[in-house]
Chains A and B, each alone.
Chain A
Amino acid sequence: AQKITQTQPGMFVQEKEAVTLDCTYDTSDPSYGLFWYKQPSSGEMIFLIYQGSYDQQNATEGRYSLNFQKARKSANLVISASQLGDSAMYFCAMREGRGMDTGRRALTFGSGTRLQVQP
C-alpha cells in the first residue's frame, strides 16, 4: 500500500528566506507521481509542483522546487524567497501508476505541514 509521511506538523520561516518541507513516501510500484499542494484557509487545494518517478531532473515551478531523492524515497519541497502569502498548509501526495489514464487514479496525501511566514 502506498504511504506518505510528513514529519513536520509546523514550520516557521522569515520572509525572503528559503524553507524546505519534508516528505517521504513508500510504494512498491516503480511508476508513480509525486505532488505538492498548498491549502490556504479558504480550503481549496492548489497544485504547486509535480515529479514523476522516471524524471531525471528535479522539478521546478517558479519559486518552488522539488528535491527528489529516489533511493531515499523522499520528495522535499523547497520554497525560495518566502512571502507572507505562502503561509498555509502544505500537502505532499502520491499517485501510483503511469500512462495517459492518470485521471482515474486516486491521490494519497500526507498529514500536511503548516507553514507560517514571519515578517
Chain B
Amino acid sequence: DAGVTQSPTHLIKTRGQQVTLRCSPKSGHDTVSWYQQALGQGPQFIFQYYEEEERQRGNFPDRFSGHQFPNYSSELNVNALLLGDSALYLCASSLELAGVTGELFFGEGSRLTVL
C-alpha cells in the first residue's frame, strides 16, 4: 500500500517564476493538506482540499493556489516566486471522518529553492 507520494523531490527556480508541486494521497484518503516548512522551522499550514474544493486556508497570500482532482490527488501552485518561498513543501493526507485520533500521513516533501 503506497503512502503519500510527492513530486518533484527537488527543484530550483528563479524569482518571479511559477512552480507546480504534485501529491498523491495515501490509498483511500479523501483529504489533502499542504504545509510549508522553512529551514529550521516547523511546518505551517497552507490550505486543505476536500471534494475538489479548498476548504480552509492558513495565512498565505493568493500567490499560493491549489487544486484537487477527482482521484483525490492534488497540486500546489505558487506564482511570482520570492526568495522567501524557498522551503520544504509537505503534503499530508487523511480521511474526512478520521475518528478521534485523525492521524495525518505525510509525504517526503518537495524541496524548493528560489534563486
Residues of A within 8 A of B (CB): 4, 6, 33, 37, 42-47, 50, 52, 91, 93, 95, 98-112
Contacts and interface: CB of A to CB of B under 8 A. Distances in A.
A65 to B, nearest CB: 16
A104 B56 contact: yes
B56 A108 contact: no
Interface of B: 30-31, 33, 35, 40-45, 48, 50, 55-56, 58, 88, 90, 92, 94-109, 111
A100 B99 contact: yes
A44 B55 contact: no
Contacts of A108: 45
Contacts of A44: 106-109
Contacts of B109: 43-44
B48 to A, nearest CB: 6
Given A106-B56, A112-B41, A43 B101 contact: no
A39 B94 CA distance: 18
Contacts of A93: 42
B43 A103 contact: no
A14 B99 CA distance: 37
A106 B45 contact: yes
